[in-house]
Amino acid sequence: METPEAMKVPIYMDNAATTPVDPRVLEAMLPYFTTEFGNAASKSHVFGWRAEEAVEAARAEVAALIGATAREMVFTSGATESNNLALKGAAQFLAPRGKHLVTCQTEHKAVLDSMHALERQGFEVTYLPVARDGRLDPGDVARALRPDTTLVSVMHANNEVGVLHPVEEIGRITRERGVLFHTDAVQSAGKVPFDVEKVGADLVSLSAHKLYGPKGVGALYVRRKPRARLIAQMDGGGHERGHRSGTLNVPGIVGMGKACAIAQAELPAESARLLALRERLRAGIERRVERATVNGSLTHRLPGNLNVSFACVEGEALMLAMKDVAVSSGSACTSASLEPSYVLRALGVPDELAHASLRFGLGRFNTEEEVDHVVELLAQKVQKLRDMSPLWDMVKAGIDPSTVQWADNA
Ligand SMILES: Cc1ncc(COP(=O)(O)O)c(C=O)c1O
């Protein structure tokens, strides 16, 4: 298929993995690499004061995006670090009170692997399942709480299927029971409204590179009233009120602040635009490709996410066939492995359909023309791959391949 002349290829539709830095963000950052290069911790001269001023302005911008106060934001190197600090820091601080933690099976690896590390330190962790639509039942959270539970961690939006969890209900339950609530809002912040007061969250992880800011910078919200206490995981000069030592990444922090301010100002219009693009993509696939199924709830979902399984087509093969379109067949961090996605498995998606899935992550710079082009490409390439697939012949003949008894040639 010809690429229309005006369209720039490759087309980027993997905005859940990362986003480009918005030119307005880059412009705000640039002086902090050169003329404004001071160390924000240098108290004795104007270079340090100016860097500190920029960091504090950015702190207020990041806080405003989630309805927090500037004093509650701790800058980190990204959400992997924020999740580690939140979970290990809170669990270890509260260990004298209890050593039981609750999370969800579809969390990002930065949460799951932090929990595994805590298990090795003697904590007990309950991993709650999700329903077919990918959502966690808040009743399951309530039932999992025990007298020795100190912390619940449930993400706001899932990175693979874009499903939004009922965090407000979960926050009410944890507040009532005196348990800390951490939420990983990396995928949702700046995309859909999120307010720490409405959610009742005590700890919230954010990452700049998912919202058109730079890579290598993130933040952790740490509630002050009532105070969430943490044991620092990085010891040193006592930066960030002792929560996270290390010289601050001033240009990165300035970029994160600008990215959050833009996301907040543009959120209502941009989320409506992305939803319209997403629905255009979904309607196009529905019209042009048979046996394509959306994974995860469509009503409780990020506007820019679509995760689709194309029966009898390998996701990896389809991605190769569409080499001018950047999408992903699972979480960016684990797509190097051939294991079917643990998130799709947790939703009850059969392995063959999990292998047949693609994640589309629409973002600020995608257009209707790009969506239409991708639909046409998908229709063509899926058909081509199915024409070569004996499984597709069976499906067309009304046979369910999962019920077939294959001969054992081993
Ligand atoms: C839900 C979620 N949490 C955490 C992370 C890790 O963020 P970072 O890349 O800033 O370490 C990601 C990024 O893939 C994510 O999608």
Single-letter residue type at 153: S
**Per-residue pLDDT at 390:** 87
**Per-residue pLDDT at 395:** 87
Q: Give the integer Cα–Cα distance in Å for 113 and 52.
A: 34
Q: Is the CB of 126 under 6 A from ligand 1?
A: no
**Per-residue pLDDT at 333:** 41
Are 163 and 326 contacting, i.e. CB atoms less than 8 angstroms apart?
no
DSSP letter string, 200-216: T-SEEEEEGGGTTS-TT
Q: Give the integer Cα–Cα distance in Å for 245 and 50.
A: 20
Question: Using only C-alpha atoms, what is the Rg of the chain?
Answer: 23
Q: Is the CB of 72 under 6 A from ligand 1?
A: no
Average pLDDT over residues 156-175: 98
Confidence of residue 332 (pLDDT cuts 50, 70, 90): very low
Q: Is the CB of 252 under 6 A from ligand 1?
A: no
Average pLDDT over residues 242-270: 98
pLDDT for 398 beyond 90: no
pLDDT for 234 beyond 50: yes
pLDDT for 283 beyond 80: yes
Provide the 3-class DSSP secondary structure of residue 318. Answer: helix
pLDDT for 16 beyond 80: yes
Percent of the chain with pLDDT over 90: 90
Q: First and final CA of the chain: distance in angstroms?
A: 41
Q: CB-hemisphere CA count at 13 Å for 72?
A: 25
Confidence of residue 396 (pLDDT cuts 50, 70, 90): confident
Ligand 1 atom, smallest distance to 16 CA? 16
Q: Give the integer Cα–Cα distance in Å for 190 and 261.
A: 9
**Distance set, CA 181 to CA 56, 169, 329 (Å):** 26, 11, 30
Average pLDDT over residues 284-309: 98
Q: Give the integer Cα–Cα distance in Å for 35 and 322.
A: 44
**Per-residue pLDDT at 8:** 86
> How far does the centroid of ligand 1 lie from the alpha carbon of residue 45, in Å?
36
Q: CB-hemisphere CA count at 13 Å for 116?
A: 8
pLDDT for 334 beyond 90: no
Percent of the chain with pLDDT over 70: 95
Q: Of 10, 22, 38, 97, which is closest to residue 260 (Cα–Cα)?
A: 22
Average pLDDT over residues 20-36: 98
> How far does the centroid of ligand 1 lie from the alpha carbon of residue 392, in Å?
36
**Which tokens in the block code for residue 60?**
């207020």
**Residue 192: DSSP 8-state:** B
Provide the 3-class DSSP secondary structure of residue 182. Answer: strand
Q: Give the integer Cα–Cα distance in Å for 352 and 337.
A: 15
The strand pairing partners of 318, in sequence order, are none
Q: Give the integer Cα–Cα distance in Å for 220 and 205.
A: 5
The strand pairing partners of 101, in sequence order, are 125, 151
Q: Is the CB of 186 under 6 A from ligand 1?
A: yes
Confidence of residue 409 (pLDDT cuts 50, 70, 90): low
Q: Is the CB of 213 under 6 A from ligand 1?
A: no
Active site annotation includes 333: yes
Q: Give the integer Cα–Cα distance in Å for 260 and 217.
A: 12
Higher pLDDT pick, 68 / 336? 68
Are 316 and 335 contacting, i.e. CB atoms less than 8 angstroms apart?
no
Domain with CATH 3.90.1150.10 in the chain: 11-20+267-391
pLDDT for 24 beyond 80: yes
**Per-residue pLDDT at 52:** 98
Cis omega before residue 147 (within 30°)?
Answer: no
Q: CB-hemisphere CA count at 13 Å for 299?
A: 3
Average pLDDT over residues 291-299: 97
**Per-residue pLDDT at 309:** 96
Single-letter residue type at 13: M
Domain with CATH 3.40.640.10 in the chain: 23-263
Q: What is the pLDDT of residues 120-159, one digit of tens each?
A: 999 999 999 999 999 999 999 999 999 999 999 999 999 9
Query: Atom 13 (ligand 1): residue with closest C-alpha?
Result: 17
Q: Is the pTM of this model over 0.85?
A: yes
Average pLDDT over residues 114-119: 98
Q: What is the mean pLDDT of the chain?
A: 95
What kind of fold does domain 23-263 have according to CATH? Answer: Aspartate Aminotransferase; domain 2 (3.40.640)
**Distance set, CA 191 to CA 141, 285, 335 (Å):** 26, 24, 24
What kind of fold does domain 11-20+267-391 have according to CATH? Answer: Aspartate Aminotransferase, domain 1 (3.90.1150)
Confidence of residue 1 (pLDDT cuts 50, 70, 90): low
> How far does the centroid of ligand 1 lie from the alpha carbon of residue 79, in Å?
5
